[in-house]
Amino acid sequence: MKLSGLFKVSMVASALTLAGCGGDINITPTTVDNSVDNSVTNPGGSNPDPISCATYTLDGASFTGEVDGVNCVYSQAFASNAKDITSSFVIPALEDNGAHIFEGALFIGEDIDTSTGATIDDNGPTLSIEAGATIAFTKPESFIRIARGANIEAIGEVDKPIVFTSISEIDGDDSTTAQIGDWGGIQVNGRGHSIRCTADAASQDLCNHPAEGIVSYYGGNDPQDDSGILKHIVIKYAGFGVEGDELNGLTLNAVGSGTTIDYVHVHNGFDDGIELFGGSVNLKHIVVTETGDDGIDWDEGWKGMGQYILVHSKEYGNHGFETDGAKKDPLSGDGQGLVTTVSNPIIANATVVATGSAGAEGRRDGAGMEMKEWGKVQMANILFANSSTEAGAGCLDLFNDKDLSGAAGVHANAKNGDISFESAIFACGLNFEEIDTPLTGELADFDIAAWFAAGNNNQTIGFANFENIFAADGVSTKSAIMDKDGNAVTVVAKDMSEVNPFFDNAGFVGAIQEGATGDWAEFVKASLERAGH
């Protein structure tokens, strides 16, 4: 589609209107089009239905998007980083590949710092998005934020996903190309537990940890907190910021287990595909392709579960999984009285495909998994494949530069069974990274290869080529896997349904099996096509 002159005029007008009130005003349209098209109906048919843009009422005033051909355009009077929208509204699906184009950030719900005496509205607004809707943003710093007490109900369908993307992908201008970091992504702030809060603060509803990006607050005392549903959604070209203060494709801050995250594809993100800071939200049916940093990253005491996770990093990507426990020693004085202990999720049926190629910024190693900073995890039915033999690209790294040989460090956790792998296959040129800081005391004789081999049905099979491991799509686990020497590998999967009802008894190792059918198979296929694989 070509965007008409209305889009550019409305962007400039909004900038002038908000220049005196602190709104987002640095407007840089990514397309130049001198055509004029002020039509208000769809172009097809003799009696076309009029386009319905999103609308809401706030403090007695009505706000609505403006029709621009087949699209709806939302000025910064409708939504910006200077405005918390406290009314519920619906973003409808549009015909003829129409998109909802936002010139500013979209903040749903009032951001509250409870230390000031203000209270969170438990019945905050809901942003509802219809299946098949496309939502595009025009600036890197613009993102969607769901505040504590608010909800997002973005429920797509297998053949009608909800797509969040860059204006450059949908503007119809061949001179503009969507890029990593074109817009900010989605951030959900929950009221779940975080290691950043003490038990005393949580009990008084005084958890107020600042989120990355534009400051807002998360944390609380409700591990079952419900922030809504994200299902059958696609997030492309998202993420923004600088090292240590970054927006990801999807950021889940202390989000509770009452929230549904299912069938999510993140492609070409600036930082991580999905990053979790505390909380106990669960993940299912996740695909991350060619994102700038890690596929899935967690910290601050996340204790959720995840199943069917595919990370494909042959062009971009640091680790498939990067896992932090706490960022501070939970056994030291400043760690006493925390509302939760270190991160300790359960992950099943995950595949990481990488090449280990070094690239820009020195972090694109395409490694399997890095565990650090006192973290714990239980992993089952895992398949990591990596063609590189270079340091930094190994299947697994227990990285101890901060926890050293501590009694709660990653090596102690591994030795004690608090980090475990079962039914895991490492098909890598380099299986394990060298220990960062030499181990001492009772950990001095720790042998990571022997520890991994002692896990039930774990195997290191080496790497010869991806064809030994994956079916023709490059990600589905072959029914007959071969090791680097061409020998058949016996695969024994763990029944995770016996661990928790959240898990299916998949019956295979990896994220998806050769010949699979159904919604997950269709979602993986569509995700790979979106990523150009």
Domain ranges for the chain, please list them.
1-104, 105-530
Give the pLDDT of residue 305: 98
For residue 450, what is the enclosing H or E element?
A: helix 448-453
Q: What distance in Å separates the CA atoms of residue 461 and residue 483, rounded to the nearest whole number? A: 5
Q: What distance in Å separates the CA atoms of residue 458 and residue 463, rounded to the nearest whole number? A: 16
Give the pLDDT of residue 336: 62
The CA radius of gyration of the chain, in Å to the nearest whole number, is 24
- Termini Cα distance of the chain: 24
Give the pLDDT of residue 354: 92
**Mean residue pLDDT across the chain:** 89
The phi, psi pair for 343, rounded to 5°, reads -55, 140
pLDDT digits (tens, 9 = 90+) for 239-261: 987 556 789 999 999 999 999 99
Which residues lie below 8 Å from residue 92, measured CB to CB, with a gap of 6+? Answer: 52, 53, 54, 130, 133
Look at phi and psi of residue 31 and say left if phi exceeds 0, alpha if psi is from -120 to 50, else beta. beta
pLDDT digits (tens, 9 = 90+) for 365-417: 678 999 999 999 999 999 999 999 988 899 999 999 999 999 999 999 999 99
Which residues lie below 8 Å from residue 332, measured CB to CB, with a gap of 6+? Answer: none
Q: What distance in Å separates the CA atoms of residue 533 and residue 531, rounded to the nearest whole number? A: 6
Sheet order of strands, 250-253 included: 84-85, 106-108, 144-146, 186-189, 250-253, 274-277, 296-299, 319-324, 367-372, 396-399
Q: Is 125 exposed, middle or buried (0-12, 13-18, 19+ CB in 10 A)?
A: buried
pTM: 0.90
Which residue ranges in the chain fall short of pLDDT 70? 1-49, 242-244, 330-336, 357-365
How many CA atoms does the CB half-sphere of 524 hold within 13 Å? Answer: 25
Q: How far is CA 151 from CA 55, 126, 255, 260, 294, in A?
A: 17, 5, 11, 11, 26
Give the pLDDT of residue 240: 83
Q: What distance in Å separates the CA atoms of residue 73 and residue 4, rounded to the nearest whole number? A: 11
Six token digits for residue 167: 């204006």
Q: What is the β-pairing status of strands 66-68 and 71-74?
A: antiparallel
Give the pLDDT of residue 365: 66
| Closest-CA residue to 423 (of 509, 481, 346, 305) | 509
The answer to whether the CB of 292 falls within 8 A of the CB of 271 is yes
